[in-house]
């Protein structure tokens, strides 16, 4: 039997996205430390900077969720530079499912939003409101 490591989730957000992700974790019953919510700038470099800050902690996170795939890719780079195994020692998840998610190794776990469908739905709803 393998031993599971405790989950300690960090969030790299930008603007209000970090707070929104933290609330979603809390709503899902996942405990997190507000000190592990750091700000990025939706860029690869800011993901690297945030990863260094988080992984330098005395008790670093075991999972990092980034508000986009560029920042998550930056986390992967820093983790690999430090010799961490993904996902055995650090789980990394991004958001957007853009091409970089599949172009790096290991490939990112990423959340895909149905942007086209969401846009079509918003347009339909806007038309309906306009017809009232």
More confidently predicted of 8 and 119:
8
Residues 6+ apart with CB under 8 A from 96: 68, 69, 110, 111, 112, 113
Using the predicted structure, report yes or no on whether residue 3 has a pLDDT greater than 60.
Answer: no
- Which residue from 50, 56, 97 is spatially nearest to 76, judged by alpha carbons? 50
Q: What is the pTM of this model?
A: 0.81
Please state the rounded mean pLDDT for residues 79-97: 95
What's residue 1's pLDDT?
42
What's residue 132's pLDDT?
53
What's residue 131's pLDDT?
63
pLDDT digits (tens, 9 = 90+) for 15-25: 887 878 888 88
> Two tokens at 108?
């990112």
Using the predicted structure, report yes or no on whether residue 128 has a pLDDT greater than 90.
Answer: no
Please state the rounded mean pLDDT for residues 91-108: 94
What's residue 5's pLDDT?
67
What's residue 22's pLDDT?
82
């Amino acid at each position: 039997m393998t031993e599971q490591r405790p989950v300690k989730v960090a969030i790299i957000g930008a603007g209000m996205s970090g707070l929104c992700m933290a609330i979603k974790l809390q709503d899902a019953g996942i405990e997190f430390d507000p000190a592990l919510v750091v700000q990025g700038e939706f860029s690869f470099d800011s993901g690297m900077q945030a990863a260094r800050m988080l992984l330098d902690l005395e008790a670093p996170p075991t999972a990092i969720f980034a508000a986009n795939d560029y920042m998550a890719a930056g986390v992967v780079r820093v983790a690999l530079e430090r010799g961490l195994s993904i996902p055995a020692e650090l789980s990394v998840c991004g958001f957007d499912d853009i091409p970089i998610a599949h172009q790096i190794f290991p490939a990112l776990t990423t959340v895909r939003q149905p942007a086209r469908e969401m846009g079509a739905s918003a347009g339909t709803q806007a038309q309906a409101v306009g017809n009232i």
